[in-house]
Structures are given as C-alpha cells and as structure tokens.
Structure 1
C-alpha cells in the first residue's frame, strides 16, 4: 500500500511510470569522463532508482533501437523503456558510468544521435519524439507529436538533416488521418514521418516536411545506406500472403483429416490458403483463387530517396518475411539485412502429427533476409535443426546450442565482414560471416555466439570495434562485451520500477531455449511482444479427444447452444492478444480454456491461462510441460500486460456524434431478435473491468458452426487492413495489406461487413450499423486516451502549445491522469506534479501556477514539458 499527499490529483507515487517526483539523485552518480564533462557540465538525474512498484503498468512494448553512441564514442545513450527515461553513460572507463538521465515520454523504444549535443528519443506510448539537448544540463527542448505507436528513427539526407520516423497510419496527433480511412480499402496502414531537423515548424508538435505512406501494415524498423542518401523502412506485421476461405465455401472440400482420433466429425470451419505466386492453394495444392477477392502484394521493405528535394518512395521489396524486426546496412557491400521470422500458418494442426501435418516445434523459421542489388534472399539461420523428430524427442544438446530464435537488432563491422545479431529468444549475440550471408549462405556455429543476459534487444559496436554494448530486456541491463574474448566483461543495471512478477515471468513468453526442445520457438513467435501477429492459425489436433464445454451461455442469447463439447479440430483462428486478458474470463476464442477449477487464491483468468500448459509440448515443442512454479510465474506475468489507450478516440475521451449514436444503440437497442442489446453480451462496464465481454458463451448464428466465448472489443482498430469478404460479395477489391480481418477466423473484411451484410441484426438502416461500427473502433480500454500524451512549451510555440496544455490540465482536474511538468528553471532540473490547489509542486521549488510556469518557459533554455501519466490502479 502507498500513501498520497492530499494536494496531488490522484496518487502520483502509485503511477508506475512517474518513477520519482524529485529531481535530486538517489544514488551517488559516478563522475563523468573529461570528454563528457566538457559537454554535460551540470548532470541531471531525473530518472531515479526506486523500489519495485506494485502498480507498474506493463505495456510490454517491443524495443527497436534502444542504444546509440555519440559520434566520438564517448557517450552511450540508452532508452530505458520501463523507467521512461533516457540514460547517459560514459564509455571511457572499464565499466559504463552513468553520468546523467532525463525523463522522456512513456515507453521509449528507440534513440538516435543527431549531433554532438542533440539526441532524439521515440516514445512508443506517448506518440511522441523527445528532442534532448545534452549540453550543460540535459533536458527536453522540443516534443514532436506523430502518428500512433512510433517505433524507430534515423537521420539521413544531406548532412543527415532529415529525421525519418515510423508510425502507424492513425492516431489523435496524425493530421492526415481521417476516421473514414478505417473503412477505406486499398490504402497503406503505415507511415514514415519526415522532419527537417533544422526547421521543425511552429505548429503544435512540429510540422513534418512530408509523410510517406507505405502500402503495408504497421511499420517498425529503419536503416540508412552508408552514404546517407537512401533510407529503408520495413513493415512490422507484414504477413505472408495467407488468408482464410470461409466455412460456407469450404464445406465438404477441406483436405483430410476431417475427424479426430475418436472418429468424430470435425465442425465446418474455414481453411487457410497461401498464394504461391500464381494462385491461392491449400496444403494439397488445390486452387482456391476464385474465392479470394483481393490481392496481397506483400510489400515488406521500402526504399526511400532521402536526398530528393522532398523524400519519395523509389521501390519496394517483397517476400522478405512475415514479422520483420530490425534492419542494418553493410557499409562495404551495401547489402541490407532484415531480421525476421516467417510464419508457417498455412500448415494445419499442432500435436504429434500422427495422423496429420503439424507445426509442433516448427511454428516459424528464424531468418535474416538479404536485399542486395534489388535481389531478395532469405537465409534460414537454423538449418541444422531436424524438425521431423517425433514429439518428445529433442535434438542433441550440441545442436540445440547452435539455435537462434527471434533475431532482432543488428550491426555490421566497419570492414563489412561481420554481422552482430541479437537473438532475443536465445539470450545470445551471434557473430555472422557477412560475406557468406551476402551469398545466401549461413553455417550455424555455437563457438561464434556470445551468451548475454536474457532477452537481448539492442546491440552496438564501439568506435574501435573492440567492444559491443548489449541491452537485455529481461533484467533491464546493459552488458559490455570484449569481442576478442567473446565474453561479457561488465553488466550495468538500469533503473527498473518493474515488480518481480513482471521480471520473473517474462522469459517464459520469449525464451526459446527454455521453452522448446530445439531452441527455435516460443509463445512469442506468434504473440509478438504479448500481442497479435495479424495472422490466423489452424491449431486443432486430430490426435486429441473431445472435451466437455461447461461454460454458461449469455442470458440474452435466445439461440440454443450448438454443442456441449469442444472438438479438438477447431479450424482457423486469429492470434489473440495477451493485452487485457486479466479481465476477460475464459481464454481463447471458444473459451475452451475454461478456468473452472480455479484454486481459492486464483482468478478464473489465471486458472484458464494455466490450461495452455500443454501447448508447450504440443505446439512450441518442449519435451515436458512447465513445472507448476514456472507456469505460475508465466501466468502472473501474462496477466499484467495491459492494453494501450485507444489511439483514435478523442483525447478528452469524448465521442463524435456518430460514435455517441453508436454507443447509444450499443447500450439501448434490442437488436438481436428484439431481445437483447449489444451490451447484453459484449459488456462494457469499467467499474467491473469488463471491456466487451461478459466471459460467457454465445451461439454466434448460422455462419459459425461452433459456440464461441463473447469476445472483448478493445483492439478492433488494430484489425483493419483486409477488404473483400467472399461469401458476401463477388467484387474483387484489388490490393490489400492484410489477409485476415474480423471474427475468430478473420473472414470478415471489415466491421461494417460483419454488422450489415450477415443480416443477423435488426438495424433501422445501414447508417445505424455504421454508427455502431464507429463506436467499436473507439471502444474503451482500461487506459484512457489522454494517458501518455505530452507537449513541450517554449518561447517559440506558446500560442500553438497552450490549447494542448490546457487540455492536459483539464484532464488532470477530472482525475483522468496525473499531470507532471518537467524542464529547467534557472539551470536546475524541475519535475513538478499538479495538485488540487491548481499549482505544480516539486521538491526544492516553490509552488508554481501553470501561468507562472508558462512565463518561465518563455525564457531561453527553460522549456517545460507537460505529460499526462496514468493514475494508480490501486492506491490509498
């Protein structure tokens, strides 16, 4: 339990993201090196070491580029994601020395150095970029507002003047986004924002020079050619040219087996097909092309002319991978390396594969794809693994030691001969022969791997190439490696407010060495950073038996239940997110992880999640299930992962007229045969922590052969990108960016299609249905839209920034967030919290009104950054 001052709106100490309200150092920092001292004359230590925070909010954001070096190599900049902090270290001694730290936005995932005094940090949850002046007292001098969930940043073009930032094509700060884009087919869902770093503009959040639309799903990684003239941008959840044929079309034509080991016929379900370059085929090669009403061109990596008068797209590269993590350029050969995994979701079934195919232990292939001279060459980095071994039989330990899972950050040596790659799921840094890789060759070699602390995400080379720095996410540490000895020689712990429940359970999501017998797969192979992979999988098991369905049906469901048992051959189902599952009742689409045998100290959700334990053997390919202690740790961690704020809903949490009309219909109109409202099943009740589901079973109507758990509705905006529902239309929709849309198997192209075309609801007219669709796109989550939002006020943008500051103030007064102001006052670091008295309070300073802070921010180098932090989930 924690106590709160009565002067503070909410309990700022309970906000896991505040870390500290004081600007004084808790630990005695090391003296900076002479090089750093000349630059950082007055260090600030705004990100402070705290005890584990039981109210920490775990967004589980995936780091992209968490490390950067100053041009002279004397300073290491670290984006400390859980502490929402940029930490600065001197590299001049044997061990890294922390010399300063600056609070930034929420969930920083990437950092880039623009020049010897300016560092830019990408804040994934705040939809912002913090521009930090490290000269004198490091501080934020400008905040750029960008599209939703920015991930990476690079500088390129003439004198590296331009900043390129990847974001999703949506968000409250995206001036070019229109709500109707969500129902518009054939447009890109990924953007690259380009800023002129020497002319950021006077508008709120800066004025981009241009925004490049990529015809792909949400983007992630960036990299730059050696001459700075070309930027490469990659889609993140790129897909692999797979889609689903609906059950009404598949009926009677599905490849065998079509019954389980007991001889019981499987329910009619859809079928996943893949485009082979000429036609859409199933696993037996049958042609389903006439039933797919769109194209998936599979644009993965985009080449941008960074040196043009206005940056433009030059070309794109296809078939690079399914999930693309990071990129690097070889400074000598010019080859572009893309770390990725390629999903095998067109292969049906999990389990032993006695009577069928199976993806057990071979969910996806870990790869580095080489793009060289416009040629795309995928290179499998685990060719030594025998994936045909029977269930329960592991590859030899010496072979498993060669395995590399979830390849992420990469860096190439100056001579172009060695690629260093962080294997996030293997806790290793691999040293790879770049020349062989350029030829499409790779030979696994455990002697060319360096074991590091768990979950390495970032890797950098020192300027002389003798050392490497590695950020490891499990324990939030940075390691120093001597490459000649291939050995970690020092480990530096970053400030970390995460409680033990988060740190202890995280490895079980990602660690392929721990959770698979061949060292190549983990739950994180599909649940990317605890979220979705934008694919559907048919993970039924023909070798399994029927299971009793003991769940209750929803009170408003007038249709009789279709079945009282779960068939093990369940058909295609889209990957579900872990985010928010702590309040969603039984697990999985059918609720077949029922959680009805919960112990006295367990929630139904915890008991239900633990029923996935057999998946470690039947799907991931472990020899045995996790023991009870480890399973508890994994479960407790998974249930901490929280949803992001809805990026489309108004920042003040209000609704547009159409959205409000949709909400009124959702709650008040009996649309299901005149008996029940949408809310009767898809319950929205914040006080009960229900966000679209009551956890019960419903008969979903004539289109669906099985009973399903009522689904939560928090992430509908994240499923947009497929248009063309074959059983409802015969119109070909052209190129699209996703092969799966809405419903359990992704067969509905849009929410509009689901609500209108299946004719299961009694709408007054189509407009009423579309209003409900609008509301579902802005559906409430457990985190409010204002959370994480920030802006920096300075002498140059007083007029532009004032309305946003007033919005943040009004939201704090309503209790929607805890507002903090940070910056410099008289060359002293300031970190103040807005209180009930209408003033900001900080240790060592008098109470300031917002008007007083505004006046102070007009002075040179006294910019003030306002950030809405989430309130405590439980405080007293």
Structure 2
C-alpha cells in the first residue's frame, strides 16, 4: 500500500497500511512501510539509478462514489479504499504491472491500471481484488479512457505515438491504432456523451528549430544583441540560433525587427503543432487537431456542462536570447482553455500572473503564491471551479471556470503523516473530485501519501 516515503528515498518496496488523520480542512493519509519479512529489497550498488514513472491519473473514484482507487507506483500496486466524509478506510490492494501510472474505473466492479514499464494494462476485479486479465498494449502506455457504444477502452501508448482501442468486454482490438501526429501522447479525456476522446501530447513542441552556427555565419550572422554588447568585450563566438515559425516565416528574437531565416531551411519545411487530437469513439479516427496549446502538455479534463477543455501545460521561451532578457523566465506554467470540445477558441491562462518580472529576484511572498509544473487537472461544473495539481510547488491551485487563479492550497504542513516533516515537499500529481461530499483527494508523489482537501 502507499508508503511513507517516496521511492527515491526508499529503493525497497514501500507498502503501507493507511493511518488516517482527519481534521476539518485537511486529512493526511500516510502509508506505512511493510514489515521487513513482507517486502523485497534491492542490493545497494554504486551504480544504482533511480527511476520513477510519470504518473498521469493515479487516482480514480468508482462511479457509485463509494471507493477511491489509488496507485502505489513504486510498489506496483493498486490501493482500494472506502470513502467517507473526511476519511478513507483501506479495503485492500492488488499487485499490478511495473510502474503503474494511471487507473480508471470502468464500472463499480472493474478498474483498468496502465503500467508504464511493463507495457501492459491490468484489468482488476474490485470485488475479489485480483487481476483478471493482462493486456499487452505496446511501448510505454500512459493512460486509458472509456467511450463509445458498445463500450471501448482507448489506451494512450506514448512510446509509439498512437492511441489503441479495445472492446471493453472482450479485450479484442476495436480499430487499427490511431496515429497521433505529436511526440509522446500522454493523457486522455472523454466528452460528456462518450462520443469523442481528447488526447494531449507531452512533447507537443512550439514550432522552434535550430539553425547551425556555420549556416548562421554564412547568412550574415545573428540579429544584434539587445541590450547592445559592451564594445570593450571581444567578438562573440559563432553560435547557432533558435528560430520559430510565425505562420509565414522562420524568425529569431531580434529586436525591434526579427530576422527572417527562411533561406536556412529547406523549401516547404515545417513543424507540426498538433497539441491536442480529437478522436471519434465510433471510428477511432482523428477528426481534428488543436494547435497553440502549449509546449509540454501534462493533462487534460473536460467540463461536461460546456464541453470546455482544460489542458495543463508549460510554454517554453527557448527562442529568447541573453540573460538580461530571460531573467529566469524560461517557461510559463499555464492552463489552456479550448472551447467547444476542441472546435472553439484557444485561450492560454498564466498560473502565475501575480509575478512582477521586472523585479528579480522576487519576494518570498510572490514565490509562496506560485504554481509550478501543473500535472493534473479536475473540473467541478457545479462549484464553478477547476483544480490543478502543481507538483513543483506542492500546492493545489483553485481556478474559476475562466481559468483565473482564485486560491492556492498547500499540501504540506499540519496535519502531517508520521515520519514526514511538516515542511517536506509533497509533490501532488493526482486529483480525484468527490463532489457529493465536497472534498478533493490529492495523491502526493514525493511522500507517497494521500491528502483530503
């Protein structure tokens, strides 16, 4: 079961028995380490390399709202817990594949667990707490979602850049693999009617490429530095230049006018920007793609009432040259809204708009409000709120449905599970919204624990 410390600190398997500490605002559920006789260990060697799977959807609630499903990724297990108001009670655990990263409840008695390293999906009977089938799906799967009539399971296979579909009852392939024209498709979401699947790519890119130093020199050199270079300094070495497609030309960051580098690229050269793919549940084909969502997309959720998509992401500013211009702003943490189920306007919302980039370094109060690395997202239509798990800052951001940050909730501090310091970063990576009880479950990756907000 979920352990008291992360796998990075305990190479041995960390299994737990949940001890629940409930308070009005926050309940912290630590995971205690299994007795030595019941856990395996790996011999310590100087060349040991830690590996951690990137959790995508490590929490899920059964459709009847009675049980929480939680992944204990370092221990390769699915935890099953009964939900109460401000409490969780352990039902049992199931050994699954290697590095489980996503779990979805197909119904009240069946869950699918996606195993990133063993390249398979474990189909779990929640009544008997046993794996009833193992489906080999391909290289590095990351997520699964259910849609269509008859019901199909769509599995995101990131190592092959495809989404594969299976008959949810027979496990037979439903369609040919759906190619995703982006690198490392990561997360899936389904519309309210179960007719469309939305797939976002981790390494979506931002239409940038590199012009080699020799080519830059042959074309007259890069744009002059801004601010201007100190004339007392020696001549700058020949370097390459990062350029970006602006819809018409390949340009650098030259000011006041960017330099055009079309001559440095083969005629007709372009880069894809298919950040989010919309897949038909009835045919398995991509019906449309959405661009300009972000550079690295972590997760996606749908507002069932409006069809608005919420995509957590970071946008890279890798085209910007020189430290005085970067001033630490090399990427922006965002949630991008896509209207009408991917057919409408694309609007990126900065999660840290409170930062004054003219002041560097900023005050501690500014850092205390920041949301970094938004890896999961959950939407509550009824409450008019969007929740974002900010792993890098150990906080959950609360947004309105327009994407404006209205609150931040720390996942560390009191109460703290045993053996976890109050100020120890938690690293939230998974969210599950229990709307009927007005509570939010948060899986903390660094401490391998669950918080109730």
TM-score, normalization by structure 2: 0.82
**What's 2:439 paired with?**
467
Distance 1:408 1:465, change over 3 A: farther
Displacement after TM superposition at 1:255 (Å): 2.2
Asked if structure 1 preserves the Cα contact closer than 8 Å seen for 2:140 and 2:159, the reply is no
SS at match of 1:425: helix
Match of 1:95 among 75, 87, 100: 87
Distance 1:57 1:155, change over 3 A: farther
Which of the two has higher C-alpha Rg? Answer: 1
What is the correspondence of 1:384-395 to structure 2 with a 5 Å cutoff? 384-390=354-360, 393-394=361-362
Displacement after TM superposition at 1:262 (Å): 7.0
**What's 1:277 paired with?**
247
List runs of 5+ in structure 2 lacking aligned partners.
1-9, 20-33, 413-425
Q: Do structure 1's residue 155 and structure 2's residue 160 form an aligned pair?
A: no
Asked if structure 2 preserves the Cα contact closer than 8 Å seen for 1:300 and 1:317, the reply is yes
**What's 1:411 paired with?**
378
SS at match of 1:59: coil
**What's 1:126 paired with?**
118
Distance 1:100 1:388, change over 3 A: same
**What's 1:164 paired with?**
154
SS at match of 1:268: coil
Displacement after TM superposition at 1:231 (Å): 0.6
**What's 1:116 paired with?**
108
Asked if structure 1 preserves the Cα contact closer than 8 Å seen for 2:12 and 2:39, the reply is no
Displacement after TM superposition at 1:400 (Å): 3.1
Distance 1:424 1:48, change over 3 A: farther
What is the correspondence of 1:836-855 to structure 2 with a 5 Å cutoff? none
Asked if structure 2 preserves the Cα contact closer than 8 Å seen for 1:331 and 1:416, the reply is no
Counterparts of 2:17 and 2:311 in 1: how far apart (Å)? 41
Counterparts of 1:477 and 1:29 in 2: how far apart (Å)? 9
Displacement after TM superposition at 1:323 (Å): 0.3
Say what the alpha-carbon RMSD is for the aligned residues: 2.7
Distance 1:192 1:261, change over 3 A: farther
Match of 2:272 among 297, 303, 326: 297
Distance 1:156 1:333, change over 3 A: same
Counterparts of 1:240 and 1:298 in 2: how far apart (Å)? 7
Q: Do structure 1's residue 344 and structure 2's residue 317 form an aligned pair?
A: yes
Counterparts of 1:154 and 1:48 in 2: how far apart (Å)? 38
Counterparts of 1:212 and 1:47 in 2: how far apart (Å)? 45
Post-superposition CA distance 1:807-854 (Å, at most 9, x none)? xxxxxxxxxxxxxxxxxxxxxxxxxxxxxxxxxxxxxxxxxxxxxxxx
SS at match of 2:68: strand
SS at match of 1:479: strand
Counterparts of 1:431 and 1:54 in 2: how far apart (Å)? 43
SS at match of 2:215: helix
Displacement after TM superposition at 1:122 (Å): 0.6
SS at match of 2:263: helix
Counterparts of 1:156 and 1:47 in 2: how far apart (Å)? 43
What is the correspondence of 1:756-795 to structure 2 with a 5 Å cutoff? none
Counterparts of 1:106 and 1:218 in 2: how far apart (Å)? 19
Post-superposition CA distance 1:782-821 (Å, at most 9, x none)? xxxxxxxxxxxxxxxxxxxxxxxxxxxxxxxxxxxxxxxx
What is the correspondence of 1:213-252 to structure 2 with a 5 Å cutoff? 213-251=179-217, 252=220
Post-superposition CA distance 1:267-288 (Å, at most 9, x none)? 3221101111211101111100
**What's 1:501 paired with?**
none
Post-superposition CA distance 1:70-97 (Å, at most 9, x none)? 1111111111111111111111364312
Distance 1:245 1:85, change over 3 A: same
**What's 1:452 paired with?**
411
Displacement after TM superposition at 1:259 (Å): 7.1
Counterparts of 2:169 and 2:174 in 1: how far apart (Å)? 12
**What's 2:221 paired with?**
253
SS at match of 2:289: strand
Displacement after TM superposition at 1:415 (Å): 1.5
Which structure features the higher share of strand residues?
2
Distance 1:93 1:329, change over 3 A: closer
Distance 1:151 1:260, change over 3 A: farther
Counterparts of 1:209 and 1:48 in 2: how far apart (Å)? 46
**What's 1:683 paired with?**
none
Displacement after TM superposition at 1:29 (Å): 7.6
Post-superposition CA distance 1:734-779 (Å, at most 9, x none)? xxxxxxxxxxxxxxxxxxxxxxxxxxxxxxxxxxxxxxxxxxxxxx
Distance 1:217 1:53, change over 3 A: same
Asked if structure 2 preserves the Cα contact closer than 8 Å seen for 1:223 and 1:231, the reply is yes
Match of 1:142 among 133, 141, 147: 133
**What's 2:54 paired with?**
62
Counterparts of 1:241 and 1:407 in 2: how far apart (Å)? 22
**What's 1:842 paired with?**
none
Distance 1:128 1:48, change over 3 A: farther
Counterparts of 1:335 and 1:273 in 2: how far apart (Å)? 32
Displacement after TM superposition at 1:230 (Å): 1.0
What is the correspondence of 1:636-655 to structure 2 with a 5 Å cutoff? none
Match of 1:104 among 96, 100, 103: 96
Q: Do structure 1's residue 431 and structure 2's residue 398 form an aligned pair?
A: yes
Counterparts of 2:304 and 2:384 in 1: how far apart (Å)? 10
Counterparts of 1:456 and 1:29 in 2: how far apart (Å)? 18
Post-superposition CA distance 1:191-238 (Å, at most 9, x none)? 00111111213xxxxx45331001111110111111111110011111
**What's 2:284 paired with?**
311
Counterparts of 1:267 and 1:433 in 2: how far apart (Å)? 49
Which structure features the higher share of helix residues?
1
Displacement after TM superposition at 1:155 (Å): 0.8
